[in-house]
Amino acid sequence: MADQSTPEARTPEKALNGETALNDGPPESADTKGGISRRLLLGTAGATGLVLGAAGGAVGYAARPAEATPLASLGADQVMFHGKHQPGILQGLQARGHVVAFDLAAGAGRKEAAALLRRWSETARRLMAGEAAQQDDTDVARDAGPSSLTITFGFGHSFFARTGLEKQRPIALDPLPDFSSDQLDKARSNGDLWVQIGANDALVAFHALRAIQKDAGRAAKVRWQMNGFNRSPGATSHPMTARNLMGQMDGTRNPKPTEADFDQRIFVPESAAKDPAGAKDPAWMANGSYAVVRRIRMLLDDWEQLSVKAQEDVIGRRKSDGAPLSGGTETTEMDLEKTDKAGNLVVPINAHARITRPDQNGGAAMLRRPFSYHDGIDADGVPDAGLLFICWQADPLRGFVTVQRKLDRGDALSKYIRHEASGLFAVPGGAAEGEYVGQRLLEG
């Protein structure tokens, strides 16, 4: 859980290429289309055509659509499917999320995978626009708008052998090394295909999950699936960095799209396609990114026994406002050399925030976009809860691996967390109009 801020505290706004980018506005004002989709929830306050029965009860509605007004704008927020990058990377945190991995069915290969990605891409396009699924829509999200729905697709290491595309497998997709905090469940790790779903309405997110699963048909079967959540947009009086289930502001130093080197640290450069011979990534990965997915269980009973002061020393930041222990506000640069009257470092040498700073890791950076999770309470009363850690980078060896190796050598937080599942996925660039995600790989 590196000390990098989540994108929650910034508002998605329409970029010139039709994507949703991040800025520093309120998180609840996502990119909104002017029109109202077929599924947008409509209110009837102010409608003139309400028909009353003899007893005065409402028995029907005859309001003209032009006079109906939305109950809220949240459902109308829409993210575009087509664009330079896939959706679900640059957008702000969503209130509900699902991550799911699939394995191709026995006998399924490149042809079946291409047909599946074509189906999935069309379903994603329709649902993200607030439309019904193309076939056998379940009506779960019938009354809702797009609700900032995003659906993102990626390929695991094993996908390339299954489809005969080993020569197109990126070197960056080599398996992650083992770490000391790993207690990984192989059944809930990796996979041929990976799908990330996020929305600001739980029913919209579930509807998308169900549609994606049904689209898989006989071509692929679910390997594992996990559910997550974040604070709902608009729940705070002003934009704030998200808190995790430990009560800490979870990361304050996320790289920002406004930074000059943001793209080169998070996305595979376009030169991969323009000059394949000189690129370290295959051409089909241009404008894509690599997602590291980790299920990190938080040992909350142990954590909550600590005093607030002890928790702050573990993290290196104040719990109340996320400011570094060396002083200032959340965005104040941490003073790693500051000492107290006794000569002790104010920010402990093994504090999580100190260890994960990019300037302490050769500039390593990841764009963190996680979800919290809670999967019930064990028989002994211990909550199965923590973080669905998802981070994006142009090179996982320089991003996640560099930072995690440093954490392995003495992070104070490691005593209170356990990595229980893991995956690394190559997420290609966005699909252009008329394309499906992964087309340049599967038909190249």
- Residues noted as catalytic: 250
Task: Give yes or no for a contact between 20 and 66, defined as CB atoms under 8 angstroms apart.
Answer: no
Cβ partners under 8 Å of residue 216, min gap 6: 102, 116, 222
Cβ pair 151, 88 in contact under 8 A:
yes
Q: Would you put residue 297 in left (φ > 0), alpha (ψ -120 to 50) or beta?
A: beta
Quick check: helix, strand or coil at residue 97? Answer: strand
In the numeric block, the tokens 């991040």 are attached to 22
Closest Cα to residue 96, out of 40, 45, 54, 141?
141
The length of the chain in residues reads 444
Contact 420, 185 (CB under 8 A): yes
Q: 315: helix, coil or strand?
A: helix
Upper half-sphere CA count for residue 78 (Cβ side, 13 Å): 24
Instruction: Give the whole-angstrom CA distance, residue 81 versus residue 437.
Output: 10
